[in-house]
Each structure stands twice: as structure tokens, then as C-alpha cells.
Amino acid sequence: MIQLKEVSKVYQTKTIETTALNNISIQVSSGEFLSIMGPSGCGKSTLLNIMGMIDEPSSGKVTISGQSISNYHSKALARFRNQKLGFIFQSFHLINELSVIDNVELPLIYRKTSARERRKMAAEALEQVGLKNRMKHFPGQLSGGQKQRVAIARAIVGKPGIILADEPTGNLDSVMGAEIMDILLKLNKELGTTIVMVTHDETMAQKTHRLIRLFDGSQVQ
Amino acid sequence: MIRHILQLIWNKKRSNTLLFLEIFFSFIILFAVFTIVTRYMRMYQSPLGFQTENIWIVHMNFNDLTDTSAVNEMKVRLKDELLSYPQIQAASYGGEATPMGGSVWATSHDQNGFQLKTNIIFGDHDYLETLDLELVRGRWFNESDADARYMPIVITEKFYEETFKGKNLTDSIYIITEESNIVGVVKNFKYRGDFATEDNVAFHYKNENHIDLSRLILRIAPGTKSGFEEEVNQVVASITKKNDFTIEHIEATRSRLAKMIWIPIIAFLSICGFLVINVSMGLFGVLWHSISKRRNEIGLRRTLGASQGEITSQFVSEVTFVSLAGITLGFVFALQFPLLKVFPIEAINYYLAMALSAGIILLLVLLCSFYPSWQASKIHPATALHEE
């Protein structure tokens, strides 16, 4: 499903060169739930960004769903992300001026989906995360856990094969975090969605199929 | 996408109010200035209807002379004497209301229940030729008109079109100061200057020796040297035995009158230009501020599948829709002027000013919003999302 082959990422300024990822090779199978752990600054988020095609590797090859994306131009990458990937972020990244359902509809705006269909799909996604009764609310009226559930609904609304979650429980207390983790596990189990999750929480990581650890940009496990 | 943008604008109405008001007030100011400018420009575009180049007017005063027959004889002699000079191509006597002269003799009369205001111009049988008026219908006066039972008059084409079109002119008598018979129609006679309105004008015939015709209009041959004015001066002085006359070059008067209007027009347009620069800077500022505050949202949208073009068009559209709302309110306000006839200005001037103001504002909005929006589209999603 996702294949990274000898991927490196180097950030270069005039005076300093920082290696964020060093020769990483990972293969994530279809339906797998993979977690990535490591200390802060070890390159976890960079790795996730490269998997999500919002950042480019300095070297190496990335293949997603059998398609090498190195030759994709910006517009094709945007379309590919929209069709194939769902994103969940630690700080939710909801648009405060849009209602819950409008936030969930956002990925569908960039598809040729009718307004009626968008609304229907968004309502279904919200139902899956147990927030159908909050459709008209605005993010400012929700708790952290509810916001993350909205973000999950937004990630799954387009029915992507892969979800990339960057510390999805990082901003939540343990109870809320457990709820979110349960939703992700359910998505993986029931819908067969491939999930790659960056986390600091060992307990959460242990619930996934596989765990890899990074240290100073290199894979250590 | 349009629905999404409209929803976003509505939900952010408080922050969009500033831009909305800026556009509304800009529209109103531009509308006011353009109404004045288009009105004057449209007046300027319509032809005067007569020649001003090489036309001199000798302003005389016979009020102190009591011997009418001597005045009459002297006037004829003066005209004949001046016409004997090859530099003078034509000469005609006219009344006190002369081209570019500033004097107006206007009368109001009832026309089928409507009060019609008409400006009266006196002229002799050579008036048409001297001022090179364009006759479009009927004839000009001849000397036999002095004995006509009804006052023979020539009117302007606009007056004819608006009041007498389709009516039998030759056999009908109309009351225009007195019982009048319309014998001809001239193309135009905008005698109060380039920036004057096209008033209803009726020429009344008076014999050249009539004491009321105290202005001698001369058409000078092109290329005549400026020293010729001194010769004319001497002839007039020697025949009239007076020295209280003046010679006016109406082309110079025309330029002076036009300048009096051009200066405020240029001032108004400069204010407009200043306003346009301010609005542009304001728009730029509002957009840069908005984009810097929305970097995170831009990063998110790019991550979720928005192309660079979609980000650009979203920001341009947002500003354009808010601007259209401001312009629409401006239109509602501006429309009251022609509908309620607040000022005696033709409605077309208001409509042109509305279209011009809206066009300029929209063009400005598109130009000012494109660059910041394009810059927004280049925001790297990974960087923008990481910033929060």
C-alpha cells in the first residue's frame, strides 16, 4: 500500500544542513495499522508528511497504492491526496468559521461532488464518529475530543484507503484519547482502512499491528 | 465551491464588514465624481453647431443714440464697409445673446400643458452663413421675413425632435413668445459653450438695421494677420463715432469658458485617482492580513486536495463577492438619483457613472486580490500546518 525506499530528507540553510530522515525504508500493507514512535524532533512528522505527499523526500522513492509519485506535478499530487488519503492532526486543524458538517465536507469540495451528495456523505461520516447531533455546531462549541472526532469524520468522508494520523491523541486527556483510538481501531478493523499513526503514547502504539521507532532520523526498530 | 465561499463569507461577516464598507463608500464617491464628469463629457462631445475659429464679435452700444434712422443707416454702412475687406468673409448682426457671450434671453411658454423654456437668439439674414450653422430642414431667414404676418423662427433640431416632430411646420402657428411660424431647423446651437446643455433655441429674425441688433459678428479669413484687428477697430470707430466698443475673439472666449470647467473636472478626477490608490492599498493590506491569519487554513486546504489554482480562485472570489455586495448596496443607493430625479441631470449620466464606478472597482479588486491570492496558493502545506 505504502512503500518508502531509502528515503532521506535533508533541510538545508546557508550555514547548516539538518538530516531529518536518513535512508528510511518502510512498507505498509493494505489494511495494516502502523504506529511510529520516537522522541521529539526525530523525524516522525516529516516521515508522515512525505507519506502524505505534502513534503518531498530529498532522495529515495515513495510508492503509494502502486503508484510512484515522484513525477507527479502539484495539481496531480493534490488530486491524489484528495482521493486516496485522509489526514488527522494533533491540533485538529478545523476551520473555526465553518460548522461541523461544513468542515467535514471540505475534502469533497475539491471533488466533483454535488452539494446534496456532499451533505449526505458528511452526515454519514459524522454518524460514524458519533457526532451527528453536533452537525450545526461550530468548532468553538466543541470539546477537544469532539473536535478530533470531527477531524476523523473529515478524514474518512472521502472514503480514502489510507489515513495518516499525526499524534491524534496528543492534545487529549486519556479518556478522550482512548475514545479516539477506539474509533481508529474500528475504522481499521471494519472498513479495512490502512492507518499510519505517529504517537508518543506507548499504550496507544501497542494497540496497533506494528510499531516502528525512529531516532535522529533513522529507523531503529 | 461558490456556495462554500458564500457560506464562508457569511460566517465571517464581521471581519468582512470593513472591506464591504470600503467598497460601498468608494463606489458612492466614484459614482458622484463620475456623474459630474460623464455629464460634462457628454455635453463636451455634442457639437457646438457653429464655427468659433476666426469669428470676431464687435460689441457696440447704441442705447445713447436717439436718432434711430441714423443708427440704422450707420449699421448698414459699417457692415458694407467691413465686407469690402477681403479678410472678412461674412458679417451679420446679432442680438445681445451672442455665442460664448454669457447673456441669455429665455422665455417660458405653455405647450400642451407643459412649460417649455426656450432661449431666444436674434439674428439677421446673414447669421447662418457667418457662423456656419448647419441647416437640416426648411430655410434660413431672408429679408422678406421682415414683413411676415407671423414671427418667422428657426429652431434647433433637438427642440424640433422633442416638441414638433411629426407636426406640420409650414402651415402651423405656434406661440413662442408670440405667434410664430417655424421656417427652418438647424442642427445645433450650443451657444453658451462646450460644456453647456443643449437648450431649446429659437432664432428670431430681425432686419440687420434693427437697433436691437448691436453685435456685429465677423467671419475672418483663415491666415489673417493679427494686425487686421486694428484696421477693424479704426473702421468701427470712424463709422460709429464711438470708442466704447470691444472686439471679442470667440475662440479665445470658448477656451476660457472650457478651462473653467476643465479645472474642476481635473481636480475631481485627481481626487478619484487618489481614492483609487487608497482603495488599492487598503485591499492589498486587508488581503495580506487575511492571508497571514489564514496560513493554517490554506495549508489544510492544500493538504486535503486543493490545487494552487483553487486556492487562488477562492481568495479572489471571496474578495470579489464581498466587493459585489458593496457595489450592489451602492447601486441601490445610486439608483435613487435617476428614479427620484434628485438633480436636473439626464438619467443616462447616472447609469454611465454607475457602470463606470462598478467596472473600475471590480477591476481594482481583481488586480489587487490576484497577487496576494497567488502568493497564498504557493504556501507550502507542510510548513503552514506545522506553524500552529
Q: What is the DSSP secondary-structure string of B303-340? A: HTT--HHHHHHHHHHHHHHHHHHHHHHHHHHHHHHHHH
Question: For residue A90, which residues of chain B lie inside 8 Å, CB to CB?
Answer: none
Q: Is residue B130 within 8 Å of B218, Cβ to Cβ?
A: yes
Contacts of B123 (CB under 8 A, 6+ apart): B92, B93, B94, B95, B141, B203, B204, B205, B206, B213
Lowest mean pLDDT among A188-192, B130-134, B138-142, B172-176: B172-176
Question: For residue B12, which residues of chain A lie inside 8 Å, CB to CB?
Answer: 97
Pick the closest to residue A26 from A53, A64, A55, A77 (CA basis).
A64
Q: Is residue B318 within 8 Å of B5, Cβ to Cβ?
A: yes
Q: What is the pLDDT of residue B356?
A: 94
Burial class (CB in 10 A: 0-12, 13-18, 19+), A137: middle
Q: How many helices (H) and strands (E) does chain B have?
A: 11, 11
pLDDT confidence tier of residue B228, bands split at 50, 70 and 90: very high
Per residue in B103-149, pLDDT (tens digit) is: 878 887 776 666 778 889 999 999 999 999 999 988 999 888 888 88
Pick the closest to residue B121 from B220, B189, B44, B52 (CA basis).
B189
Lowest mean pLDDT among B238-247, B286-295, B348-357: B286-295
Residue of chain A minimizing CA distance to B6: A98
Question: How far lies A196's CA from each of A33, A95, B270, in Å?
Answer: 6, 24, 62
pLDDT confidence tier of residue B150, bands split at 50, 70 and 90: confident
To the question of pTM greater than 0.95 for the whole model, the response is: no
Number of domains in chain A: 1
pLDDT confidence tier of residue B371, bands split at 50, 70 and 90: confident
Q: What's the mean pLDDT in B251-280?
A: 89
Q: What is the pLDDT of residue B72?
A: 85
pLDDT confidence tier of residue B221, bands split at 50, 70 and 90: very high
Question: For residue A97, which residues of chain B lie inside 8 Å, CB to CB?
Answer: 8, 11-12
Report CB contact under 8 Å: B382, A55: yes
Tell me A35's DSSP state. Answer: E
Q: What's the mean pLDDT in A165-193?
A: 85
**Pairwise CA distance, residues A191 & A161, whole Å:** 9
Considering chain B, what is the average pLDDT of its residues? 88
Q: Is the pLDDT of residue B208 over 80?
A: no
Residue A102 falls inside a structural domain: yes
pLDDT confidence tier of residue A137, bands split at 50, 70 and 90: very high
Q: What is the pLDDT of residue B111?
A: 65
Q: What is the pLDDT of residue B112?
A: 67
Angstroms from A75 CA to nearest CA on chain B: 5
Report CB contact under 8 Å: B305, A107: yes
Q: Is the pLDDT of residue B69 over 90?
A: no
**Pairwise CA distance, residues B143 & B191, whole Å:** 24
Q: What is the pLDDT of residue B14?
A: 85
Residue A23 falls inside a structural domain: no
Considering chain A, what is the average pLDDT of its residues? 87
Q: What is the pLDDT of residue B230?
A: 93
Give yes or no for A40 touching B (CB within 8 A): no
Give yes or no for B102 touching A (CB within 8 A): no
Residue from the list B1, B297, B303 with its beta carbon closest to the beta carbon of A109? B1
* Structural domain harbouring A114: 31-45+74-219
Percentage of chain A lying above the pLDDT 70 cut: 100
Residue A64 grid cell: 503509494
Identify the CATH number of the domain in which residue A188 sits.
3.40.50.300
Phi, psi of B60 (to 5 degrees): -120, 165
Per residue in B76-90, pLDDT (tens digit) is: 899 999 999 999 999
Percentage of chain B lying above the pLDDT 90 cut: 41
Q: What is the pLDDT of residue A178?
A: 85
Q: What is the pLDDT of residue A108?
A: 93
Q: Is the pLDDT of residue A90 over 70?
A: yes
Q: What is the pLDDT of residue A182?
A: 86
Q: Is the pLDDT of residue A166 over 80?
A: yes
Residue A12 falls inside a structural domain: no
Per residue in B19-36, pLDDT (tens digit) is: 899 899 999 999 999 999
Q: Is the pLDDT of residue A163 over 70?
A: yes
Angstroms from B314 CA to nearest CA on chain A: 11
Helices (H), chain A: 44-51, 74-84, 100-109, 115-128, 144-156, 174-186, 202-206
Q: What's the mean pLDDT in A33-43?
A: 88
Pick the closest to residue B50 from B219, B285, B265 (CA basis).
B219
pLDDT confidence tier of residue A221, bands split at 50, 70 and 90: low
Cα B331 off chain centre by = 23
